[in-house]
Chain A
Amino acid sequence: MPSDIENSDLSVEKKSGWKMISEDNEIDELNSQEGKIQEQYVIGANGYPREILPEIDPIYDSDTSIEDSINTVGNIPMEWYNDYPHIGYNIDGKMILKPAKGDELDKFLDSMEDPDTWMSVKDNSLQKNVRLTDEELEIIRRIQLGEFPDPNYDPYEPTVEWFTSKPEVMPLSAAPEPKRRFVPSKWEAKRIMKLVHAIRQGRIVPGKSQVQKPRFYNLWSDNDKPREDHVMNLQAPKMKLPENDESYNPPEEYLPNEQEKIEWENMDPDDREKNYLPKKYPSLRTVPAYDRFIQERFSRCLDLYMSPRIRRNKLNIDPESLIPKLPNPKDLQPFPTSLTLSYDGHTSRVRKLSIDPMGLWMISGSDDKTVRMWEITTGRCVKIWEFKEIIHSVAWCSDKDLCAFAVSCLNKVIVISPMDFSDAKTVDSTVKFATLGFANIEQNEKKVKLVEWQKPTEDEKSQGFLVVLVHLHNKTIKDINWHRRGDYFSTIASDAGNQSILIHQLSKHQTQQPFRKTHGLVQNVMFHPIKPLFFVATQKFVRIYNLMRQELIKTLQSGVKWISSLDVHPMGDNIIIGSYDKRLCWFDLDLSSKPYKTLRYHTKAIRNVTFHKHLPIFASCSDEGFIHVFHGMVYNDLLQNPLIVPVKVLKGGHKVVEGLGILHCEFHPTQPWIISSGADHSLKLWT
């Protein structure tokens, strides 16, 4: 502490001295100033010249930490310097010599003579007594009195209340107490249940005395019990069994030749395929001790404890490999790919469309009570027939030599021939064919009348009406389906009980009721394209009847909730059904009565499914406004299952109106085109 004062004094002196020097310089020649400055270099501790820089005058009150003590040896026991004449080194590396020290008598005399002895202490680093300052004496005095050393410290300052002790009127957060503070914790309950379960199973025994395990045990003893079976216990992998070439007498072919031996020797041990060379011994007696035994045991132990064993529950299978290999849709062309034409004109939803067997004309029936005829390639509406009720179904006669179609309107089915759009011969034969039956009406009088075959009025005749069939059950006809020959057609009125399916013969004006009773609501019927079979789709089942023998052949269980539509492959051995619960089922009739494939691609109810007449494509349309086009190849080979590949989703044509999208779709009979009719009052052609 006294060194501080001395130092400060010294610094002042030094400063003033330097100042004096500089003043002298100013008085002397200015030119010699450089030389003077050069002279202020001294040889430093490292032997290089050190510039004496002007003393820094700290403005703030000098602190001990920035003042360098004269002695630079540091905080070491000064006894180390007892045998030396010096007590350390100054900043320039020069020795600081011990101050002259008198004996005890001198000390005593000094203490007697010096009145300040009582207030001086020995500075250990300088080995001499220094006098304490008044402030330091004051601190000592205060400590002795048991007071705070700093006279300015006020121990009774007013407290700052960081956290108030008074309750607030309004709380900082007005959130209500959460429920979790009042209900028992679920996770705690789970944890407890786990423990209870463990206790019940006997894995935890409460109050079980801890059996002291022996501190050391025989690691290599043979009487180890196999571990109890436990989920977490994983068996160590077994060691590889020795192979043939490890035998002491291996067959000749396993023995390496000289070159292979040299190669093996030169190879890095890590790169070797096997860590031994097959060797042949004449007898078991001559086999030496296994030289690599210790090494092998060691590496086995390393294997056992260095590599953690884990049970993998997740199978490492590439998901791509699970997807069946399907041909590229590009190779399966042709199929419709883009929207080409829109047929606009209807003012309400278009329920049904039908394309004539030649593929030139199309008719559409709509809720606006009109049937319109369109030219397919141009989108031109060429004729409009107006009716009094909603048109539920339209269907072209499938005979190419006739030119007629049937329209269902309430309980009527009207057969119409668009006379202006066919040549005179065809029209003539069509009219003859359809009206010939009026002659034998009287013959059918005896039977129970199901349908009245009426002649159209003159006005209707001019519009091309040929026959009007009035169904006497007075229920709405939902659908019309023609037999492939174009003579018979069936009508469905699902509410009409046992008369829900009727089969009409156009040439003779006869009507048959094929079923005494029906099972469930009839959704759709279809004639087999080749055989005298008849498909009836009710809500969940498709029944196949033989019309010749009048018997049920097969019942197909679809597994869907509500069948919406049905179509038969042109070969007749496969059928597809669409359902309101988004599914499309493909049945192979030779295979089983369950679906061969069930496809769920649509997100909304499927309205219609349809096959192309010649090409191996089929399509389904749904309420979401999309048409899904599939490649459906049926092979003549009975052993080969049909190939079904989704090839195209036709989007963006129809708008969804009141939850209804596309109501019907039909393929063009010759081209790979599809025409769809939607609830947005339009029909679209996709090519």
Chain B
Amino acid sequence: METLQENVQIQVRFITQQRKYAVTDSVILVPISLRRYGLSEIINHLLGFEKPIPFDFLIDNQFLRTSLSEYIQNANLSTENILTIKYVESLLPPTPLSTFQHYDWISSVKSHDQSLFLTGSYDNHVRIFNTSGECLKTFAGHQAPIKSVSWISVSDENVTFLSASQDQTIRAWEASLIDDKYLTLYECKGHKGNVESISLHPSHTKFASASWDSSILFWTTAIPEESEQEILEISSKRRKLNDRETKVKTPIAKMHGHVGPVSSVAFDINDHGKMYSGGWDHSVRIWDIESTTNFNTKNCDKSVLNIAYSEKSGLIASGHSDQVIRLWDPRAKGTLIFYSELLDLLIISII
């Protein structure tokens, strides 16, 4: 393989979407041997800032991690052509402050005011941690791995939260932060498959849950006076034992629409009447909460494994089985507005 000479220069054009760092879009000759640092120096020189800012560079939506010459050689590009390089401000990866030691896989994490962390784990336990990494509380009750957790309310003394599990139930918990007491407020039964995701309505009075049985159930957070559901014919003895203690709650509404498992639900924080859900049937569905109808469906080619709603931009991000994150605008007619190809594994969670 022929190697490119190191003193060769190449014409490049720098572009950016960060307007404050925009430089002239004229073509610049740069030595081919430059790496990220060298290119960053050029941009800093062009910007003329007092304090140099590190930049990262993308060619064809791929981060440049080698020298330009290696990139050109690997991509079989010509040094004669103009190379368009996109740059963004380089951000340092987050540094871990403290670790929350678990015995098994963690499936879900929710924080409250960045002081309390609720985690659901595959060892069937829900835990509360503080910022220094101490496990304040451990909650046992589920018979299968926890798949999703969600805070309901946090006060100085008491916390209430929800946890969804693969044992097809959702439990609401109340715990005191002062002493060791905790209790299960109620157990939500109604799903016929793993409960994959729960999402609390912004009003904190309702919540929705998505399950592998292709349904989305709607619940209130009010504590029932007594068990709402007649006890099913249960085969497992262990379940019967548990059922004696806790009150059982039934859903207030059922939303069917997805074909196949529903992987995620999210409420619209700006518009309290809307809810979004994503499923394995390649669709992101928009639901009207009042009428519990699916009034819009956005389809793509790959299964949706998780969705999240952004309060600021009003967009939905969805994680997919093809290692891509897609962004959707729920207000627009069109579907997809952006997708990234940076990840290597199934995207199972977006927060």
Contacts and interface: CB of A to CB of B under 8 A. Distances in A.
Interface in A393-438: 419-428, 431
Interface string A343-382: 0000000000000001110000000000000000110101
Interface stretch (B24-32, B42-50, B148-156, B232-240): B232-240
B322 interface: yes
B234 A424 contact: yes
B246 to A, nearest CB: 16
A510 interface: no
B321 interface: yes
A425 B168 CA distance: 12
Contact of B193 (A337, A340, A360, A671): A360
A679 B239 CA distance: 39
Given A340-B321, A358-B212, A377-B305, A419 B235 contact: yes
A608 to B, nearest CB: 23
A334 interface: yes
Interface string B139-152: 00001110000000
A465 interface: no
A338 B323 contact: yes
A380 B143 CA distance: 16
Contacts of A358: 212, 261
A380 B122 contact: yes
A340 B323 contact: yes
B192 to A, nearest CB: 4
Contacts of B318: none
A673 interface: yes
B332 interface: no
A377 B107 CA distance: 12
A657 interface: no
A341 B239 contact: no
B348 interface: yes
Contacts of A419: 235-236
A380 B235 contact: no
B235 A341 contact: no
Contacts of B321: 340, 671, 673, 687
A145 to B, nearest CB: 77
Contact of A424 (B144, B145, B236, B323): B236
Contact of A431 (B144, B235, B322): B235
Contacts of A16: none
B235 A427 contact: yes
Contact of B192 (A359, A425, A670, A685): A425
A361 B345 CA distance: 19
A333 B235 contact: no
A687 B322 CA distance: 6
B277 interface: no
A420 B238 CA distance: 11
Contacts of B194: 360, 421
Interface in B249-302: 260-261, 263, 280, 301-302
Contacts, number: 76
A341 B301 CA distance: 19
Contact of B301 (A333, A338, A420): A333
Contacts of A420: 143-144, 166-167, 236
B232 A424 contact: yes
Interface residues of B, number: 35
A358 B194 CA distance: 12
B305 A425 contact: no
Contacts of B235: 419, 424, 427-428, 431
Contacts of B191: 423
A334 B167 CA distance: 33
A135 to B, nearest CB: 70
Interface string B62-91: 000000000000000000000000000000
A423 B193 CA distance: 6
A380 B233 contact: no
A380 B346 contact: no
A334 B192 contact: no
Nearest to B239: A424
B119 interface: no
Contacts of A685: 346
A382 B323 contact: no
Contact of A360 (B122, B212, B236): B212
A572 B233 CA distance: 40
Contacts of A422: 193
A425 B232 contact: yes
A338 B263 CA distance: 22
A341 B345 contact: yes
A431 B263 CA distance: 29
A338 B234 CA distance: 42
B105 A377 contact: no
Interface string B182-226: 000000000111100000000000000000110000000000000
A676 to B, nearest CB: 16
A377 B168 contact: no
Interface in A599-657: none
Given A420-B167, A424-B233, A670 B260 contact: yes
B41 to A, nearest CB: 36
A646 B232 CA distance: 51
B40 interface: no
Interface in A453-491: none
A340 B192 contact: no
A162 to B, nearest CB: 50
Interface string B303-325: 10100000000000000011100
Interface in A24-42: none
B282 to A, nearest CB: 9
A671 B345 contact: no
Interface in A652-687: 670-671, 673, 685, 687
Nearest to A341: B346
Interface string A303-337: 00000000000000000000000000000011001
A428 B323 CA distance: 38
A687 B320 CA distance: 10
Nearest to A423: B192
A393 to B, nearest CB: 26
B238 to A, nearest CB: 10
Contacts of A670: 260, 280
Contacts of A671: 280, 303, 321
Contacts of B144: 420-421
B239 A377 contact: no
A425 B191 CA distance: 11
Contacts of B323: 338, 340
B345 A340 contact: yes
B193 A334 contact: no
B103 to A, nearest CB: 14
Interface centre among B212, B232, B235 (most CB of A within 10 A): B235
Given A360-B193, A420-B167, A428-B235, A380 B212 contact: no
Contacts of B305: 377
A660 B327 CA distance: 43
A377 B233 CA distance: 30
Given A420-B144, A421-B194, A423-B193, 8 more contacts: A338-B322, A378-B105, A378-B348, A419-B236, A422-B193, A424-B232, A424-B235, A424-B239
- A-B interface, 7 closest residue pairs, ranked by CB to CB distance from nearest: A423-B192, A687-B321, A428-B235, A340-B346, A427-B235, A424-B234, A360-B212
Interface of B: 105, 107, 122, 143-145, 166-168, 191-194, 212-213, 232-236, 239, 260-261, 263, 280, 301-303, 305, 321-323, 345-346, 348
20 contacts: A334-B302, A337-B322, A338-B322, A340-B345, A341-B345, A360-B193, A360-B261, A377-B305, A378-B346, A378-B348, A380-B122, A419-B236, A420-B167, A422-B193, A423-B192, A423-B193, A424-B232, A424-B235, A424-B236, A428-B235
Interface of A: 333-334, 337-338, 340-341, 358-360, 377-378, 380, 382, 419-428, 431, 670-671, 673, 685, 687
